[in-house]
Every structure is written in C-alpha cells, then in structure tokens.
Structure 1
Amino acid sequence: MLLTTTINGRKKELLIRDNDYLLDVLRKEGYLSVKRGCDTGACGLCTILLNGSPILSCSTLAARAQGKEIFTIENFPTEAKKFASFMANEGAEQCGFCSPGFTLTVIAMSKELENPTDNEIMHYLNGNLCRCSGYMSQLRAIKNFLEAIKNEGC
C-alpha cells in the first residue's frame, strides 16, 4: 500500500503493509524521537501529532495517516527548548526518554485549551508516564509555559 502523508511539513510517499503501525513506519523513516514503550497505548512515549492532535502511534495503523499531517518533536525545536527550560526551572528534570511525547502533548494542549485548570491539564496528560520527576513540578512548569506563550502571543 502506498501511504501519502506529510511529515514535519514534507510530503512523503511510503510503501507500507496493511498491518504496519505508525510507530514502526516513522522509526524506519528515521524519526527516532518516536519511541517504543509499552505497545499498549498507555505510556505516551510514541506520541505524535496527527492533524494537530496527539495520538499514540504504537496503536495506530499507518494507513490511518493517509492524506494527513504528521508532526514529531523535530518540527518544534524552539517550543521544545523553551518548554525544557520551564521544566528545569521547576525541578522537573527528566532523563529524556518520555520527553518527546510529553512535550508534544503539552504543545498540542497549548493550541487547544485556553487557561486550563489543573484538572484539565492532568486530564490532557493522561497516559504520559514519567518515572523521573514528580507530576507536581511538571504541572507548575506546564502552567508557567502556557502563561508565557499566552503573554508572548504565540
């Protein structure tokens, strides 16, 4: 099957099998920030944006991306660097393994939710597991990041 999609702004035509998962297709194409974790859609390591919304690529057939736009963390270097600084400032340092999926989810949230409550943020992050830092420091970093980009008009 020929998959026609756009990855990080570049149109791609990829030969895939009907049962290929998006995670495997992306990694084969060199997008190594998309990571394999649980293979059950529970950890968030494989998160990508599909037409702007976070999805779990380990449980999404590649064929579902036909004609759609895929974004990985490589498409957001400025936002990722900025968010990382907010995480570090709040003591929410991470080993980096879950960072790409976690950061993509926060970027998507920043475009979708306006002035989210703590509960809305936690709900949006459901399924992003981190074993390196406490979620309270992450929550503070996210709130500060969202406030900063709102004030900058981004």
Structure 2
Amino acid sequence: MSQVTMTVNGKTATGDVEGRTLLVHFLRDELQLTGTHVGCDTSQCGACVVHVDGKAVKSCTMLAAEADGASVETIEAQAADDGTLNVVQQAFQDHHGLQCGFCTPGMVMSATALLKENPKPTEAEIRHYLEGNICRCTGYHNIVKSIMAASGQDVDSIAAEVAAQ
C-alpha cells in the first residue's frame, strides 16, 4: 500500500492505495465520486473520462498512484455549488444529448476538454474528438448538436441537414 494525495474537485484528497488501483476506482470507491462511470475497464468506452491537470484522461487507464500530486476534476465539479449546470451540461439538457445517461459524464468531460482546446469546433472535429467515447443510445447526433450549441454556434442548420437526408 502507498499513500496518494491529490486535489480532487478543488479539495485535497488523501488515501492508501494498492499499486494496481486505478484512478477510476479510487475516485468511486475511496472518494465516493460515483459520477465517473466504469463502462468497460479496457479504455474503449470513455465513460470514465476525468480531467487530470487540465487534460481529458480515461481514468480506467491511469493508476491512482500516477495521479499523486495532480489536480483531478470529475463530473461532480462541473455544475456550480448551487446546482446550476455549466454551459456544456445545459446544452446536453437543452438539445437532448443524452438518453440513458451512462456515457454522459464522460461525454461532458470530453466535450469540456475539446471546447477548451478548440472553442468553435466543426461537426467533423467534434465527431473525431469523441471517437474514444461510446454511446449506445443516441446515435451521437444530439451529442454533437449539444457540443456545437455549447460553443455558441448555430445548431438549426444541423437539424435541417439531418431532416433533409
């Protein structure tokens, strides 16, 4: 066992972990931050995406010990303290970017990272960025639309293009 200390959602978190403990399990099991989902445990689905030192990371691919000293942000930190959704979360709600909700935390965290890197991504850039996130319900159309809306872009043309096909 070794002790890890990291800043999680702005607060210091310390815990004892085995060398093989994945960051996702430390967040969920030790810190009770269950918004980060475990979908595949093989880095395929993206349900476990968190931000580590500002970068989107699949937390099932990172050992908790590797995050020692890092700043980690989970889906729980996205809304304001009063529960007000951030712009990405609100866009997902407004544009029906979720159905069952299982992939949503990872999608929101990935979308937030994308918009930080590229504030006005094209539809193709969004689809490319989300290749590591799997949604089995939505078909991605409304997820893409939500991210474009969160970036302040007009999404009416997206609906029109799909309706015309």
After TM superposition, the score normalised by the length of structure 2 is 0.82
Equivalent residue number for residue 117 of structure 1: 122
Partner SS for 2:13: strand
Greater shift after overlay, 36-45 or 116-125?
116-125
Does 2:19 correspond to 1:14? no
Q: 1:80 to 1:96 in 2, by over 3 A?
A: farther
Structure 1 residues without counterparts, runs of 5 or longer: 149-154
Greater shift after overlay, 71-80 or 135-144?
71-80
Cα deviation, residue 146, structure 1: 0.9
Cα deviation, residue 80, structure 1: 4.4
Equivalent residue number for residue 41 of structure 2: 39
Cα deviation, residue 131, structure 1: 1.5
Larger Rg: 2
Equivalenced residues, count: 148
Equivalent residue number for residue 73 of structure 1: 75
Partner SS for 2:152: helix
Q: 1:80 to 1:5 in 2, by over 3 A?
A: same
Partner SS for 2:19: coil
Cα deviation, residue 110, structure 1: 1.4
Q: 1:88 to 1:75 in 2, by over 3 A?
A: closer
Cα deviation, residue 137, structure 1: 2.1
Equivalent residue number for residue 140 of structure 2: 135
Q: Could you report, residue by residue, the CA deviation over 1:42-91 in whole angstroms, capped at 9, with x for unpaired residues?
A: 10111111011111111211111011100001111148454344234434
- Measure the CA separation in 2 of the matches of 1:20 and 1:86: 34
- Measure the CA separation in 1 of the matches of 2:115 and 2:86: 15
Q: Could you report, residue by residue, the CA deviation over 1:74-131 in whole angstroms, capped at 9, with x for unpaired residues?
A: 1111484543442344343321111111101111111111322222211211211111
Structure 2 residues without counterparts, runs of 5 or longer: 154-165
Q: Which amino acid aligns with 1:60?
A: M
Equivalent residue number for residue 151 of structure 1: none
1:96 to 101, 121, 126: 101
Partner SS for 2:6: strand
Structure richer in helix, relative to its length: 1
Q: Which amino acid aligns with 1:147?
A: G
- Measure the CA separation in 2 of the matches of 1:65 and 1:93: 29
CA contact (8 A) 1:40 1:58 kept: yes
